[in-house]
Structure 1
């Protein structure tokens, strides 16, 4: 569904290759693990600019 509809800043063949990767079971498994890890430590995902977080 996403193939051929990527941003103009990315070559079409690169975009299509990334789409192929995103639907693999291996990628989906790693993505689920990353989501779980982010929910366990929400304070670790704050973006910072120097010593002051954007959340502040």
Structure 2
């Protein structure tokens, strides 16, 4: 399940980056930046919890 979440977060990040590359609308840029932040937070959350279990 965690692998799926990481893959989904990476996919969201890729979509957000593509949107940032191709949009000229300032509001869309803001939304894509937020998507990127959320996907990065998802990955960090999963990876940090796994890291904690390894070092426990």
Larger radius of gyration: 1
User: TM-score, normalized by length of structure 1?
Assistant: 0.36
Greater percentage in helix: 2
